[in-house]
Amino acid sequence: MELRPLGETGILVSPLGLGTVKLGRNQQVKYPEPFEIPDDKAVVDLLSLARELGVNLLDTAPAYGNSEERLGQLLPGPRDEWVIVSKVGEFFEGGKSRFDFSYETTIRTVEQSLRNLKRDYLDAVLIHSDGDDYRVLKQEGALDALRALKEKGLIRAHGMSTKTLVGGLLAVVDTDIVMVTCNPDYQEELPVIRAADLRMRGVLIKKALQSGHIEAGEVEEAMKFIFAQPGVSSVMIGTITPNHLRDNIAAVEAAIKACSGVA
């Protein structure tokens, strides 16, 4: 897969990113079927296949169980070949989510993520919204903390995984990257994507497959819809199945060709 710019961050990412929640957590998730967390060999095999097929982008978070720790232990190949996006603000403890967007907690969270992932820096860190995007951006300390970490060189770029149109538009102004929900059945945040394109912000798409609820025959059409939006950098899709990974890559590549007019 041909790498794409993540806005003006200087980071190049594969148009498909691998979401890793299923590597570390199977409680309180929204997927249609229950699943078992894969063992270490299965994780290494999946990550190796992803890299072999051109995926360089990984999406993780403290709220994804022990996903960060497993990536830190099991990630194959030179670590600087991978682009890792993590998050701050949400924690999954005792079977439920807890949120803390304070300055101090944000600093500690990123420091812990660096240790978990065995990295000297993180490529990008996003604020993991609780749904009240405006309050989190305007009244909490997470945004200032991420700016400070960026100045210290501990993260290359910062952004927010938003849940509202207002929050997405604010994040476009205040950060480097937005992660928004987009699929043919949910188009409310398209103005965020357009605003991000105008400002040259990185755009990551979540829930492209509606957390696995989309019909198999509709995946390529969903990808075509998403990549027809100017400025989209990458679609984040989680899987623990090699065949599913291959199918997703094929759908993304076909969609990009269709959108570019390549026969």
Task: Please list the rounded mean pLDDT of every run of 10 residues in the chain (263 residues).
Answer: 96 98 88 88 98 98 96 92 97 92 98 97 97 97 98 98 97 98 95 98 95 80 95 96 96 93 56
- pTM equals 0.95
Residue-level pLDDT at 52: 97
- Give residues with Cβ within 8 angstroms of 149, minimum separation 6: 106, 107, 110, 125, 155, 158
User: Sign of the CA dihedral 48, 49, 55, 58?
Assistant: negative
The parent domain of residue 144 ranges over: 4-256
- Tokens 């000297």 belong to which residue? 120
Element containing residue 9 per DSSP (H, E): none
Residue 187 forms part of a structural domain: yes
Residue 263 forms part of a structural domain: no
Residue 94 forms part of a structural domain: yes
Residue-level pLDDT at 263: 44
- Tell me the C-alpha distance between 88 and 99, whole Å: 9
CATH number at residue 227: 3.20.20.100
Residue 76 forms part of a structural domain: yes
Could you read off the pLDDT of 31-68 as tens digits, one per residue?
Answer: 778 889 999 999 999 999 999 999 999 999 999 999 99
Residue 261 forms part of a structural domain: no
Residue 262 forms part of a structural domain: no
Residue-level pLDDT at 262: 53
Residue-level pLDDT at 13: 98
Query: Which one-letter amino acid corresponds to residue 216?
Result: A
Neighbours of 65 (CB within 10 A): 21
Residue-level pLDDT at 69: 97
Q: Name the domain count of the chain.
A: 1
Element containing residue 153 per DSSP (H, E): none
Query: Which one-letter amino acid corresponds to residue 102?
Result: S
Residue 163 forms part of a structural domain: yes
Residue 74 forms part of a structural domain: yes
